[in-house]
Amino acid sequence: MNKRLSGAYRQGVVSIIVNSLLFAAKYYVGIVSGSVALITDAWHTFSDSLSSIVLIIGTKIAHKPADSEHPYGHGRAEVITALIIGIFLALIGFSFLEKSIYKLVEHRAASFGALAIGITIASVVVNELLAQYAFYLSRKTKNTSIQADGWHHRSDALSSLIILAGISFGSTWWWMDGVMGILMACFIFYASYGIVSVAINPLLGEKPGSTLVKEIRVICDRLAGKPIMAHHFHIHNYGVHSELTFHIVLAGDILLDDAHALADEIEKKIREIYSIEATIHIDPANDPETLDDIQHDPLE
């Protein structure tokens, strides 16, 4: 099992176990105390377990090998997984916003007992630890869906903070719980936007980074022994697999075998260094369209 897949499994399993226990505790205390807010927060916690199940399933699909119907593999399932979790976050944000506005309109303040306070504090700590663990695994494995799951854990910690704020200041300022709810909803919308935008870019297509382009140009010129003006770069990301296409310029009288050997050597080096599959198109130096193509390269 590779690093990305094992990281998603570890994060998902830990999240499901911990959040299922938190859900049971919050729901029980909510029923005993008659707290609608705590019961709602319990279901929010349960949604973390659902997102973790989506994470495990999506990552497992993403690592299926290529087949006749999916020649580039199933890597974008991982991106779609992050998109689904981002949408989950947005729905949770709308729920917070609606309930917070309702509290302000109805002049309702939060009211909890000592047991509810203890469970809520534990929820803040545990979910922030889960979020930090997810962010750590995301940085280590470069798996965006794990990062999205981490933000979902953080949203649960924030929802518990809203309840604690209501406990701390609700007796003095009845509107504090509602205002904090609206602020946290805005934060969750921002987090959701970040996750969704990161997930959508590979689906829509994006240009390769300027650093990557510069480094590949250096590789091309070094292997060719002279400048060969690599240009017209396009990259296609499939989660765990990336395809890169670009052009190089060679003398019009170069032997086909030599041109093919150079292209193979460059592709092999890119594969070794970046784990990217490259496809190279060769432009003849004496073709007037070649100069025009270079001049209109969008990366220039």
Walk me through the domains of the chain, giving residue ranges and CATH numbers.
3-204 (1.20.1510.10), 210-295 (3.30.70.1350)
Phi-psi region of 202 (alpha: psi -120 to 50; beta: other; left: phi over 0): alpha
Q: Output the pLDDT for position 252.
A: 83
Q: What is the DSSP letter of 283?
A: E
Contact 191, 72 (CB under 8 A): no
C-alpha span between 70 and 100 (Å, rounded): 45
**pLDDT tens over the chain, length 300 residues:** 555 566 667 777 888 888 889 889 888 887 876 666 677 777 777 777 776 777 677 767 766 776 777 666 666 676 777 788 788 878 877 887 887 788 788 877 666 667 778 888 888 898 899 889 888 888 887 777 677 778 878 877 887 887 777 767 766 777 877 777 787 778 778 777 877 887 777 666 667 888 999 999 999 999 999 999 999 898 887 766 788 999 999 988 899 999 999 999 999 999 999 989 999 999 988 776 766 666 656 555
Q: What is the DSSP letter of 206?
A: B
Contact 57, 83 (CB under 8 A): no
Q: Output the pLDDT for position 245.
A: 92
C-alpha span between 282 and 296 (Å, rounded): 17
Which secondary-structure segment (H or E) carries 243?
Answer: strand 242-250
C-alpha span between 143 and 63 (Å, rounded): 12
Q: Output the pLDDT for position 71.
A: 62
Q: Output the pLDDT for position 239.
A: 61
